[in-house]
């Protein structure tokens, strides 16, 4: 799944409108049409203005200097590789090494010849929707972070017109593969909570620990990569934005992100806030609980958008059990389910100021992840059960 502007983007899905019976969403749809034209103009201006800066930025990356502009960061730790090293690591990008493809380009597994380290190498598709800006942002953002829930950027290659990013290899692939992939093996409740809690910690680092703080902008299940024992890490900072500083409450930007995860306020106004990420996190958490995709065009029109499907169910406790992934086969704690759904519901509220801050999400999910569910000890829930104890 690639990234694209939430409205007016290059990919097919972006032309589909979020489906809902909700009047507010209908208003959002008509507003988006107007917004589309404005955004497209902004994109052109922004792209041409930044093209010059980016050429300079890439040159500076190769000499490990600071970059000015909206991605200014501490010194970059990532190593600069030659293209020949990339070719050797992937046996000339052999199809056997192919891991997947997103909006940035193809990803290959590689082995660095000097160290024997396994890596994932992402090759920028020069015709793709994402570009040098994303490359620079990724190197600047990831190169300066060090957190157990963020994928490490080992290095990059910016030789000639080649642009490649070299990450630590995540052996269990993406959460998206595990939830929706063809060979999915159902994740148990404890693993799901562990993944949600780890993803929240990664986001907390970006929002609250980085200086300057960073808005992630592209939180989604395909960007949660899994290590040994399903240890989760956030990847892909190509859309990340340095957050608002001083008295500012938002950053104005063209609307980017992935359809289905994009906060409605951000989609309508282009004003990016930390609460935009919290909305996306709520969608992700719903996806983890329900096993449903954020957007699923194979479902009936009413049920295609996960949040629109969940909203009426949130209102009725008796219907909570309908939201659990059937793949869990009733193996989940009732109280844990209530609490997880409550967090998700708070995160996806229409009004951004009502959404929690990431530190509160981390506290709640860390607690949930610490409450280990044991199907041998705890009762298995009946699917057809009509009501739950208060
Ligand atoms: N560090 C990594 N380790 C292992 N596999 C990876 C790694 N990075 C990416 N992949 C694999 O490559 C696939 C494509 O990743 P990529 O980030 O390019 O696309 P995406 O996440 O689907 O979309 P987007 O471009 O919007 O991020 C992922 O689904 C994942 O399976
Ligand atoms: Mg990705």
Q: Which of 48-52, 74-78, 368-372 has the highest mean pLDDT?
A: 368-372
pLDDT in the model for residue 271: 84
pLDDT bin (cut points 50, 70, 90) of residue 374 is confident
In the set 218, 265, 277, 325, the catalytic residue is: 218
Question: What is the distance between the alpha carbons of residues 286 and 346, in angstroms, rounded to a whole number?
Answer: 11
Question: What is the distance between the alpha carbons of residues 121 and 90, in angstroms, rounded to a whole number?
Answer: 8
User: Is 125 a catalytic site residue?
Assistant: no
DSSP-assigned beta bridge partners for residue 246: none
Residue 102 alpha carbon to ligand 1 centre in Å: 6
340 is written with which tokens?
């997880």
261 is written with which tokens?
């995860």
Binding-site positions for Mg(2+) read 223, 236
Ligand 1 test: best mutation among 14, 98, 99, most atoms within 8 Å of CB? Answer: 99
Residue 181 alpha carbon to ligand 2 centre in Å: 15
DSSP-assigned beta bridge partners for residue 235: none
- Please report, for residues 103, 188, 339, 367, the alpha-carbon distance to residue 314 in angstroms, rounded to integers and kept in the order given: 33, 22, 12, 21
Q: What is the pLDDT of residues 28-38, one digit of tens each?
A: 232 222 222 22
Atom of ligand 1 nearest to the CA of 106: 18
pTM summary value: 0.79
Q: What is the pLDDT of residues 322-333, one digit of tens each?
A: 999 999 999 999
pLDDT beyond 80 at 246: no
How many residues are listed for the chain in this entry? 390
Residue 102 alpha carbon to ligand 2 centre in Å: 6
Question: What is the distance between the alpha carbons of residues 34 and 12, in angstroms, rounded to a whole number?
Answer: 19
Lowest mean pLDDT among 55-69, 230-244, 316-330: 55-69
Binding-site positions for ATP read 122
Question: What is the distance between the alpha carbons of residues 48 and 235, in angstroms, rounded to a whole number?
Answer: 27
Q: Which of 208, 161, 136, 163 is nearest to 362 (CA)?
A: 208
Take atom 13 of ligand 1 and give the residue whose Cα is closest.
100
Q: What is the mean pLDDT of residues 260-274?
A: 90
Q: Is 79 exposed, middle or buried (0-12, 13-18, 19+ CB in 10 A)?
A: middle
Q: What is the pLDDT of residues 309-350, one digit of tens each?
A: 999 999 998 899 999 999 999 999 999 999 999 999 999 999
Ligand 1 test: best mutation among 9, 11, 102, most atoms within 8 Å of CB? Answer: 102
Mean pLDDT across the chain: 77
Is residue 305 within 8 A of residue 21, CB to CB? The reply is no
First to last CA, the chain: 40
11 vs 163 pLDDT, higher one = 163
Q: Which helix (H) or strand (E) holds 226?
A: strand 224-226
Residue 2 alpha carbon to ligand 2 centre in Å: 7
Q: What is the mean pLDDT of residues 143-162?
A: 87
pLDDT in the model for residue 241: 62
Mark out the alpha helices in 22-131 (DSSP H runs).
23-62, 83-89
Percentage, residues of the chain above pLDDT 90: 51
Atom of ligand 1 nearest to the CA of 1: 22
DSSP-assigned beta bridge partners for residue 100: 107
pLDDT beyond 50 at 65: no
pLDDT beyond 90 at 218: no
Residue 81 alpha carbon to ligand 1 centre in Å: 20
Binding-site positions read 122, 223, 236
Pocket of ligand 1 (CB under 6 A): 1-3, 99-104, 107, 120, 122, 151, 167, 169-170, 173-174, 177, 222-223, 225, 235-236
Question: What is the distance between the alpha carbons of residues 189 and 230, in angstroms, rounded to a whole number?
Answer: 12
186 vs 27 pLDDT, higher one = 186
pLDDT in the model for residue 28: 29
Ligand 1 test: best mutation among 124, 125, 173, 227, most atoms within 8 Å of CB? Answer: 173
58 vs 81 pLDDT, higher one = 81
Q: Rounded to an integer, what is the distance from CA 276 to the centroid of its chain?
A: 12
Percentage, residues of the chain above pLDDT 70: 69
Question: What is the distance between the alpha carbons of residues 176 and 193, in angstroms, rounded to a whole number?
Answer: 15
In the numeric block, the tokens 């100021």 are attached to 353
Q: Is 49 exposed, middle or buried (0-12, 13-18, 19+ CB in 10 A)?
A: exposed
């Amino acid at each position: 799944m690639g990234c694209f502007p939430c409205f007016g983007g290059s990919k097919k899905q972006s032309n589909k409108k979020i489906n809902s019976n909700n009047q507010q969403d209908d208003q959002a749809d008509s507003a988006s049409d107007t917004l589309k034209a404005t955004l497209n103009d902004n994109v052109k201006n922004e792209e041409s203005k930044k093209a010059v800066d980016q050429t300079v930025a890439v040159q500076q990356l190769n000499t490990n200097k600071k970059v000015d502009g909206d991605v200014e960061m501490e010194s970059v730790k990532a190593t600069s590789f030659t293209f020949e090293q990339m070719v050797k690591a992937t046996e000339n990008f052999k199809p056997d090494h192919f891991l997947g493809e997103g909006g940035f380009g193809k990803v290959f597994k590689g082995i660095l010849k000097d160290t024997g380290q396994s890596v994932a190498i992402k090759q920028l598709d020069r015709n793709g929707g994402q570009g040098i800006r994303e490359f620079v942002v990724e190197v600047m953002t990831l190169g300066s972070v060090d957190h157990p829930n963020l994928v490490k950027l080992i290095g990059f290659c910016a030789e000639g017109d080649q642009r490649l990013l070299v990450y630590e290899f995540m052996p269990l692939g993406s959460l998206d593969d595990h939830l929706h992939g063809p060979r999915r093996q159902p994740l148990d409740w404890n693993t799901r909570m562990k993944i949600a809690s780890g993803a929240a910690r990664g986001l907390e680092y970006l929002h609250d620990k980085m200086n300057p703080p960073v808005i992630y902008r592209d939180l989604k299940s395909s960007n949660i990569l899994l290590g040994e024992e399903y240890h989760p890490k956030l990847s892909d900072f190509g859309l990340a934005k340095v957050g608002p500083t001083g008295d500012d409450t938002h950053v104005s930007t063209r609307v980017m992100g992935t359809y289905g995860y994009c906060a409605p306020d951000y989609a309508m106004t282009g004003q990016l806030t930390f609460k935009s990420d919290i909305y996306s996190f709520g969608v992700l958490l719903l996806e983890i609980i329900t096993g449903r995709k954020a957007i699923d065009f194979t479902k009936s029109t009413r049920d295609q958008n996960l949040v629109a499907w969940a909203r009426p169910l949130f209102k009725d406790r008796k219907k909570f059990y309908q939201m659990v992934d059937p793949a869990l086969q009733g193996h989940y704690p009732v109280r844990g389910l209530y609490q997880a759904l409550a967090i998700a519901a708070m995160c996806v509220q229409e009004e951004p100021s009502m959404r929690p801050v990431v530190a509160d999400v981390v506290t709640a999910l860390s607690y949930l992840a610490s409450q280990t569910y044991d199907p041998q000890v705890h009762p298995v829930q009946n699917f057809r059960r009509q009501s739950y104890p208060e």
